[in-house]
Structure 1
């Protein structure tokens, strides 16, 4: 009886142990799945973009309308007004003086309490007299500083200052430091257009002083973008621009580098126009022109599409070549490698720097020209919405998105040649040039598809657009990391040998390595447990 009781207890213990192992196994499998997703997240930029959208991390950017900005201003004005009992206009002036920093305004009035008391006297009683401005005898009005003038002179003075864009207008008297507050301006003025202009000036002053707020440069768009860090942003009107400088997107080039490039272009143009580089005048004209000669028959050809695959229009020639390097297209193809400047012995003379500049400038302008020519595609796609050309509404919308991707890729390729001009040659620059080549090749293929029959190439267009977007993200991600990418702001190639890769690994490489080790340990114990269960089957035989 005791043996049977002990055997049953032992069987119950074994069953509990097995249940515990099964529970632990389920936990390990769940952790294993989580770590696999974790690795995919760090390996693929597409996974990261999906997660960012799911987590709504784009809330760091906010689009504000004109009325939203006015509400934000009034909120800060109310906070000051509730403490110091000043007028609405007086609070706005003090906030604007301290760049809309409430703490600084309060600190000022706590240290100088008389300022908030004496400034409440905003005007004096009107009296009759001769106006010092127009020299006419009439009723005179003014501020507490006793500088008087007639109503018409006050109106003319205020209107002139508002047209100049001023939001803080001083007294009409010379060398007077008194400020005319908003309530008095509304009392003097009657024209609603001038008053509307004054409100616009006050809002503009608020946006200009805010470090994290800029106006959208879009046509007829009155929105402002609020962002916590400078980057390229997109307004609700569709305008995409750089938050720091307000210009068109210029990834991967920084604002400072773009400014340096603009000055370089102006300097080289002046140099070539001078006597020292007079022999290169024809070269610059050829670069800036819209036509090129056919490499085979020398017929002048004008580019009328975005794709750089050109065909000579001469009936006796029909030669196909690359618009950038003028090489035979049968040898060049979409995989041609013409985005890298080759420094040969022939170019190492007094004009080497000029020739190198013209190489990158030529390609920069070529993509800029393609971008302008491809704008016709958007109008062509929009005309298909009537459904008479055999395309459905969803297909037209897909083509519009594809053209947006093509436009962004052209913008990026334009500025990669600025980036490449100032890039020092090393192993990392070779990776950049390879990414640039892949993006350029895919962009030209997509542009070529869009110039063909859309119905026949529709699926190829969608597949290629996704690939172009992926290659663009890869290139921008590599430039953003900056590991081993050394910039030379002079633009003069030093022609030094590469010192090899710089071993500055991003932090995610360490996290990825740690995740792989954890997954290996989990799988080791998991498969060990499964092997133990398969080889440790307990057979219990009860005695008779």
Structure 2
């Protein structure tokens, strides 16, 4: 190791002021953020635990309302599996209105379907049906078993089986799931199984607090959050994603910001850039046209001739003296302004994309760092050293990963925040400039400290002396704390200074998690 002002060879443990207080620092770092009440806790629901998770919510509603499981499920599906909303509605509306609005007409009294006393005419097939082949629902509507079965099968095949309503017009009663299962199972057992699967998966499909993991191929897991849905979660398969929009974790970008950035990246690809520079759109069909000769009169495949220089449509003959309606030699001020604006927007996008890509690539390279550090720790532990605890190293790597991700996504945020696509007219030019300078100052500080942390973590510390390792420990510990603090400050700046006075209801930012 070459001599360095930050870590000279002559430095010893006492000079680095390391009296093993790093443990307390690390504990404080690990505990940071737990007091933030807006954090959402998440849990993974596997195929095996899905039924148990559903049963738990069903049991709570069944106990409070004293209803059967099927009616509790119907209520929960109606209220998107939010038991709290059910209990609030119970207080506001009373039990009768609560049940009727959800289509639960059998919450009290007779269950499901009943057999009428006399033969009846089915109001669907208009056949006279004996009493053992026709049922009357608790809502008072009678149909034959065959028509009920056909109705259930159609609804299940259409994916509407979670709340199958009565066939009678304008009737909102939800059919008894046991009768659906029995009638359909007698004719099509596989469709009855699908019905049961739909009821089970309703806990995910109709639940605002639960979402399937978007992994490809699908891992089969789902994630449940307790708290704000604007958060980033991690599945047991290792995939991290935004719970709100199911795309990759993109904080501090809001979901609309990330959607805009992804669209811009697609539109700003190399192919799109080449087309913009080397082609002219046809004035008739608007397809991009490239010329393969020297003459500037070109003809699109749609048959429209036009001037390639300016894009103006021409007649069937092209002479520079007889083209009506335009002149390629005439300078147009508006066109110049439009061209300059397009160039500025293109340069601005490339500026932010290049820096976003730089830090994203660094993160990919640093993803291998944790395994490398573990190997270095293993080598160091075999040596007779005064430093025996290397938790500061793994903590530093984790902080580097998180801060690098925040730094990477801060550039798409800045592109959207200070552009005209999302907040046009909501900030004056002066306000935009002040906010931009404030954010870029914090961005620059974070970037500088992240690079320093990365440099120290990549050092080959097993080959260093104990004094040098102690000095590295001090730098890594301090920098881990600094980048964590700067990340928090950046999020606070976004929430309190940048978005506070704007339409922030559609731009909720997932909170910063230091160990995510």
Give the TM-score of the pair, scaled to structure 1: 0.51
- How far residue 112 of structure 1 moved from its aligned partner, in angstroms, is 8.8
- How far residue 380 of structure 1 moved from its aligned partner, in angstroms, is 6.0
> What is aligned with 1:526?
none
Residues 50-83 of structure 1, C-alpha deviation per residue, up to 9 Å, x if partnerless? 4765x79698636375324431232113322x2x
> What is aligned with 2:485?
474
> What is aligned with 1:370?
362
Contact 1:251-1:476 within 8 A present in 2 as well: no
Contact 1:128-1:140 within 8 A present in 2 as well: no
> What is aligned with 1:264?
264
> What is aligned with 2:413?
419
Query: How do 1:6-17 residues align onto structure 2 when only pairs under 5 Å count?
Result: none
Contact 2:113-2:135 within 8 A present in 1 as well: yes
Contact 1:405-1:465 within 8 A present in 2 as well: no
Partner of 2:142, secondary structure, is coil
Determine whether 1:432 maps to 2:422. Answer: no
Larger Rg, first or second structure (1 or 2): 1
CA distance in 1, matches of 2:99, 2:194: 34
* C-alpha distance 78-50 of structure 1, shift in aligned 2 (>3 A): closer
> What is aligned with 2:292?
none
Contact 1:242-1:249 within 8 A present in 2 as well: yes
- How far residue 225 of structure 1 moved from its aligned partner, in angstroms, is 1.8
* C-alpha distance 433-76 of structure 1, shift in aligned 2 (>3 A): same
- How far residue 226 of structure 1 moved from its aligned partner, in angstroms, is 0.7
> What is aligned with 2:164?
169
Q: Is 362-371 or 118-127 further displaced after alignment?
A: 118-127
Determine whether 1:441 maps to 2:451. Answer: yes
Structure 2, unaligned stretches of length 5 or more? 1-24, 281-338, 383-387, 419-431, 503-516
Contact 1:367-1:414 within 8 A present in 2 as well: yes
Contact 2:166-2:174 within 8 A present in 1 as well: yes
* C-alpha distance 372-197 of structure 1, shift in aligned 2 (>3 A): farther
Structure 1, unaligned stretches of length 5 or more? 1-43, 281-346, 490-544
- How far residue 45 of structure 1 moved from its aligned partner, in angstroms, is 12
Residues 449-507 of structure 1, C-alpha deviation per residue, up to 9 Å, x if partnerless? 3xx57665976775555445333323322223326547999xxxxxxxxxxxxxxxxxx
> What is aligned with 1:334?
none
Q: Which structure has the higher relative contact order (CA within 8 Å, separation 6+)?
A: 2
Determine whether 1:146 maps to 2:142. Answer: yes
CA distance in 2, matches of 1:386, 1:129: 82
What is the total number of aligned residue pairs between the two structures? Answer: 363
> What is aligned with 2:314?
none
Q: Is 108-117 or 218-227 further displaced after alignment?
A: 108-117
CA distance in 1, matches of 2:449, 2:160: 45
Contact 1:52-1:58 within 8 A present in 2 as well: no
CA distance in 2, matches of 1:474, 1:222: 32
**Which of 98, 109, 113 is matched with 1:123 structurally?**
113
- Superposed CA RMSD in Å reads 5.2
Residues 256-293 of structure 1, C-alpha deviation per residue, up to 9 Å, x if partnerless? 3223322333444499447544499xxxxxxxxxxxxx
Give the TM-score of the pair, scaled to structure 2: 0.54
> What is aligned with 2:343?
351
Contact 1:140-1:148 within 8 A present in 2 as well: yes
Greater helix fraction, Structure 1 or Structure 2: 1
Residues 156-213 of structure 1, C-alpha deviation per residue, up to 9 Å, x if partnerless? 546525xx375222357898754223332443445695365133233125522x5xx6
Query: How do 1:371-520 residues align onto structure 2 when only pairs under 5 Å count?
Result: 371-377=363-369, 401-421=395-415, 422-423=417-418, 424-426=432-434, 427-446=437-456, 448-449=458-459, 465-482=476-493, 485=498
Contact 2:40-2:228 within 8 A present in 1 as well: yes
* C-alpha distance 264-243 of structure 1, shift in aligned 2 (>3 A): same
* C-alpha distance 396-463 of structure 1, shift in aligned 2 (>3 A): closer
CA distance in 2, matches of 1:48, 1:379: 22
Determine whether 1:77 maps to 2:62. Answer: yes
